[in-house]
Amino acid sequence: MPSRHIVALLPLAWGHTLPYIHLTTRMLALDPELVVTIVQHDNFGSLYKIIPKMLKEFGLCSFDTSRLKIQGVGNKDLQSLPANLEESLKQLTSRWLELLAKAVGGGTNWPKPNTLHLDFCGGKFVLKESGALLGPQGKILFWCSTGVAACIDHFSLFDFNKTAQEIYTDETKQAGRTMDEILGDVGCARNGSDKLDSRILEIVEGVKIYNYKRTAQGAGSPCHITPVMASAQEFAQAADGFCYPTSSPLEPTAVAFAREYYKQRRQELFLVGSQMHDND
């Protein structure tokens, strides 16, 4: 009989989803008392058919399919992901809370969830309510499908919202800009201020680098995802722990740094190794 239930929230993005598919099959193989529910955007009618792709990928794996549920939510005909990213997240997160409340309330034949895996892209928007539903004994993990060094660099070294608010409340620094404009500048600079300068940053593993060398300026900073990054930074501050598809052989010095870093923050770190096709 199942005794443990993990519920995961994944965004409408294949790169975020694929590693989690293979993590799921591994978890189910290793723990016969575990069941997993994945909540994903249901867009069968769009050009980006992610749930059919998920089902196809799961079909390549050997596992007990009776212990996995994929719950599709949202508008099935949502088109053009880049233009509708915010809308897809709104649809996903609003329905998520309804489904989680039902699961916690015993509205399914599976045990109540005891752990949530929330993707960094959208997790902050349901964090408070999800924690209240789960209760004090539950755990909420921050899922990001990349290496631990990149995640610390993106989500823990800076707080875009806090920096933008400090600038906004100073009339001289504000310089007539709106809060959104300041946040955009902070996200482009990615150095704890709203502009590049000659400051030296100490990033993961104690590496020191000029802030303008941190991002390839020829390509430009990923300014368009600043709101997502800012929300993920808030999520990273409050999460019980982090789950990354990496390991010591892949990031030997970064993993050692990360273990001590998260220990000081009293957050757990789960490194699950590279998750990919069985035949890769």
**Burial call 15-39: b when 16+ CB within 10 Å, e when fewer:** ebbbbbbbbbbebbeeeeebbbbbb
CA-angle at 252, arms to 250 and 256, nearest 5°: 130
State how far the Cα of 77 lies from the Cα of 72, in Å rounded to an integer. 13
State how far the Cα of 115 lies from the Cα of 105, in Å rounded to an integer. 15
Answer for the pair 280, 260: CB distance below 8 angstroms, yes or no. Answer: no
Residue 92, pLDDT score: 87
Q: Which of 136, 119, 170, 168 lies closest to 17 in space, CA to CA? A: 119
Q: In the structure, what pLDDT confidence band is assigned to residue 210 with cuts at 50, 70 and 90?
A: confident
Residue 279: half-sphere exposure toward Cβ, Cα within 13 Å? 4
Q: Which of 256, 272, 53, 59 lies closest to 145 in space, CA to CA? A: 272
pLDDT average, residue stretch 91-102: 90
Task: Specify the higher pLDDT residue, 101 or 222.
Answer: 101
Per mean pLDDT, which range of 116-130, 209-223, 227-241 is the poorest? 209-223
Task: Write out the two tokens for 263.
Answer: 């220990």
Query: pTM of the entire structure?
Result: 0.90
Q: In the structure, what pLDDT confidence band is assigned to residue 58 with cuts at 50, 70 and 90?
A: very high
pLDDT average, residue stretch 158-174: 96
Mean pLDDT of the chain, nearest integer: 88
Per mean pLDDT, which range of 7-11, 195-199, 231-235, 242-246 is the poorest? 195-199
Residue 261, pLDDT score: 93
Domain boundaries defined on the chain: 4-143, 154-222
Task: Write out the two tokens for 205.
Answer: 């593993």
Q: Which of 275, 8, 17, 259 lies closest to 152 in space, CA to CA? A: 259
Q: What are phi and psi of 6, to 5 degrees?
A: -105, 130
pLDDT average, residue stretch 184-195: 91
Distance of alpha carbon 139 from the chain centroid: 15
Q: In the structure, what pLDDT confidence band is assigned to residue 263 with cuts at 50, 70 and 90?
A: very high
State how far the Cα of 111 lies from the Cα of 88, in Å rounded to an integer. 28
Residue 204, pLDDT score: 79
Q: In the structure, what pLDDT confidence band is assigned to residue 201 with cuts at 50, 70 and 90?
A: confident
State how far the Cα of 123 lies from the Cα of 246, in Å rounded to an integer. 20
Q: In the structure, what pLDDT confidence band is assigned to residue 80 with cuts at 50, 70 and 90?
A: low
H helix or E strand, kind and range, residue 89: helix 81-104
H helix or E strand, kind and range, residue 167: helix 160-168
Query: Which CATH number applies to 4-143: 3.10.20.740, 3.40.630.30, 3.40.50.2000, 3.40.640.10?
Result: 3.40.50.2000
Answer for the pair 150, 250: CB distance below 8 angstroms, yes or no. Answer: no
Q: In the structure, what pLDDT confidence band is assigned to residue 82 with cuts at 50, 70 and 90?
A: low
pLDDT average, residue stretch 181-208: 88
Residue 278, pLDDT score: 56
Distance of alpha carbon 224 from the chain centroid: 17
CA-CA-CA-CA torsion sign (62, 65, 68, 73):
positive
Residue 197, pLDDT score: 87
Residue 209, pLDDT score: 85
Residue 214, pLDDT score: 74
Distance of alpha carbon 126 from the chain centroid: 12
